[in-house]
Amino acid sequence: KLLFFSNKRSDGSVSTDTLVSTISTCACVEYFGRALEVLVKKVSIRCIHGKMKNKRNSIFADFRTLKSGILVCTDVMARGVDIPDVNWVLQYDPPSSASAFVHRCGRTARIGNYGNALVFLLPMEESYVNFLSINQKCPLQKMSPVKDVVDVLPKVKAMALSDRAMFEKGMRAFVSCVQAYRKHECSLIFRVKDLDFAFLASGFALLRLPKMPELRGKSFPEFEETSVNTDSIRYKDKNREKQRQKTLAERKDKVQAELPKKNFLKNKAWSKQKMKKERRKKRVAKRKHDEDPDVDDEEMKELLDDTRLLKKLKKGQISEEDFEEQISRPKLKHKAEEPEQENHS
C-alpha cells in the first residue's frame, strides 16, 4: 500500500506528486527507503533521519528543488521545516506522541493549499482514531482499502538474498519498529502483546526472525522462514565482504585456540585423580624399600599384589576405599632375624 501511494495515481499513471513518508525509526527509514529506490521507478527518493547529521541539510536542500519525489524521514522533519507543495503525508506508523501526529500532518496543506495526510493502522489500533479526535481535536476519515495491490515482498526478499547489507537493514528495522511500539505514549492502544509478530515480520519481508527479548520462548509456525542459510549471504560491497570473511576467520581461529583449554578444564578432575594414584604407588614402593632393601620372594609377591590392586583401581574393578583398606593392611616380616651367636671363646 505504501508503494501504491508512492508510485501510482488512482488511474494507474505515474505520480507527479510530492510525498513525505514518515516512519518512527532511523533503521526503518534506511530499510524502506532503500526498498522504494528499487521498487519505485522514475521517481526521486530521498531519505533523512536524525543520525544523518552531516548529510541531512544537503539532502533536504536537494529535495526542495525537485518538482516531484518522495522524502522518507523520521519525525526530525515533522516540524520547523518548510517543503513547498507537499501533496501527501503518508504515516507508515503512528508517531510516539499524539502531538507529533498533528505536526506530521502539518507538512501538507500549507499556506491555504490543499493536501492529504494518511496513517496506516492495524485492526487492533482503530481506537486511536477516537483518541485523536478527543485529544487533538483531529477527526479522521476511514479510507477504503486499496484493491489489486501488487505483492512486492518477494522482490524485497530477493534484494536481501542478493546483498547482506539489505538483509541486515531489514533485521534492524524490524527490531527498532517493535522497540518503538513498546515505547509508544498511548500504551493502552499500542500494546506489544497484541502484535502479530509473524504477520509483521512477513510485512518486513524478513528471511528469518531476529533474536530479541520480545520473541524469546515463543514459536511462530505461521511465519515462513527461508531455507537459505543466512550466514552464507554476502555483501555486494567487496570491501565489506572481505572484512566480514576476515572477521569470520579470526573468530574461527579464536574458537580453535580455546578448545585445548576447554579440554584441560574438562579433564582436570581425571588428571588430579591420576596424580593421587601415582603418589600412592610411590608410597608403596618406598615403604617396601624402607622395610628391607633386600627383597626376597615373599616381599616380591607382596609388591606384585600391591601392583595388581593398583591396576584394579585404575580399571574401576575396585573402589578407592577397598584399595586403601587392602594397601594399608599391616604386612608381616617374612625374613626372620638371625640370633646373635655367643662367643664362647
181 part of a folded domain: yes
Is 114's pLDDT higher than 60? yes
Q: Using pLDDT thresholds of 50, 70 and 90, give the confidence band for residue 335.
A: very low
Predicted local distance difference test score (pLDDT) of residue 275: 63
Residues 310/277, Cβ–Cβ less than 8 Å: yes
User: Is 162 in the same domain as 260?
Assistant: no
User: Is 115 in the same domain as 219?
Assistant: yes
Q: Give the tens place of pLDDT for each residue, 298-317.
A: 666 776 777 777 778 777 78
Q: What's the CATH code of the domain at 65?
A: 3.40.50.300
User: Is 8 in the same domain as 151?
Assistant: yes
Work out how many domains the chain is built from and give that number. 2
Predicted local distance difference test score (pLDDT) of residue 338: 45
User: Is 247 in the same domain as 229?
Assistant: no
Three cell numbers at 95? 508517531
343 part of a folded domain: no
Q: Angle CA(141)–CA(147)–CA(151) in degrees, nearest 5? A: 120
Average pLDDT of span 313-328: 75
Give residues with Cβ within 8 angstroms of 294, minimum separation 6: 335
Residues 85/18, Cβ–Cβ less than 8 Å: yes
Beta bridge pairs of residue 90: 21, 118
Average pLDDT of span 90-95: 90
Average pLDDT of span 272-276: 64
Predicted local distance difference test score (pLDDT) of residue 14: 46
Predicted local distance difference test score (pLDDT) of residue 126: 92
User: Is 175 in the same domain as 310?
Assistant: no
Percent of the chain with pLDDT over 70: 78
Predicted local distance difference test score (pLDDT) of residue 311: 77
Boundary residue ending a domain (199, 218, 235): 235
User: Is 69 in the same domain as 184?
Assistant: yes
User: Is 162 in the same domain as 255?
Assistant: no
Average pLDDT of span 17-25: 87
User: Is 88 in the same domain as 197?
Assistant: yes
Q: Angle CA(260)–CA(265)–CA(267) in degrees, nearest 5? A: 95
Predicted local distance difference test score (pLDDT) of residue 299: 63
Select the more confidently predicted residue: 336 or 203. Answer: 203
Q: Using pLDDT thresholds of 50, 70 and 90, give the confidence band for residue 333.
A: very low
Predicted local distance difference test score (pLDDT) of residue 303: 67
- Least confident stretch, 41-50, 141-150, 166-175, 294-303: 294-303
Boundary residue ending a domain (190, 209, 235): 235
How many CB atoms neighbour CB 245 within 10 A? 12
User: Is 37 in the same domain as 182?
Assistant: yes
User: Is 87 in the same domain as 197?
Assistant: yes
Boundaries of domain holding 269? 242-327
Predicted local distance difference test score (pLDDT) of residue 203: 93
Q: Give the tens place of pLDDT for each residue, 155-165.
A: 999 999 999 99
Give residues with Cβ within 8 angstroms of 91, minimum separation 6: 21, 22, 101, 104, 117, 118, 119, 120
Predicted local distance difference test score (pLDDT) of residue 273: 65
Is 57's pLDDT higher than 90? no
* Secondary structure (H, E, C), 54-116: CCHHHHHHHHHCCCCEEEEECHHHCCCCCCCCCCEEEECCCCCCHHHHHHHHCCCCCCCCCCE
339 part of a folded domain: no
Average pLDDT of span 57-64: 89
Residue 8: φ, ψ to 5°? -130, 150
Residues 70/36, Cβ–Cβ less than 8 Å: yes
Select the more confidently predicted residue: 303 or 262. Answer: 303
338 part of a folded domain: no
Residues, the chain: 345
Boundary residue ending a domain (235, 269, 293): 235
Q: How far is CA 239 from the centre of its chain?
A: 23
Q: How far is CA 200 from the centre of its chain?
A: 17
Average pLDDT of span 271-289: 66
Q: Give the tens place of pLDDT for each residue, 203-258.
A: 999 999 999 999 999 999 999 999 999 999 999 999 999 999 999 999 998 888 87
Residues 16/40, Cβ–Cβ less than 8 Å: no
User: Is 164 in the same domain as 250?
Assistant: no
Three cell numbers at 251? 573468530
Predicted local distance difference test score (pLDDT) of residue 202: 95
Q: Give the tens place of pLDDT for each residue, 163-173.
A: 999 999 999 99
Predicted local distance difference test score (pLDDT) of residue 75: 86
Amino acid present at 129: V
pTM: 0.70
Predicted local distance difference test score (pLDDT) of residue 268: 53
175 part of a folded domain: yes
333 part of a folded domain: no
Select the more confidently predicted residue: 201 or 16. Answer: 201
Is 142's pLDDT higher than 80? yes
341 part of a folded domain: no
User: Is 58 in the same domain as 164?
Assistant: yes
Three cell numbers at 180? 518503538
Predicted local distance difference test score (pLDDT) of residue 11: 44
71 part of a folded domain: yes
- Rounded mean pLDDT of the chain? 82
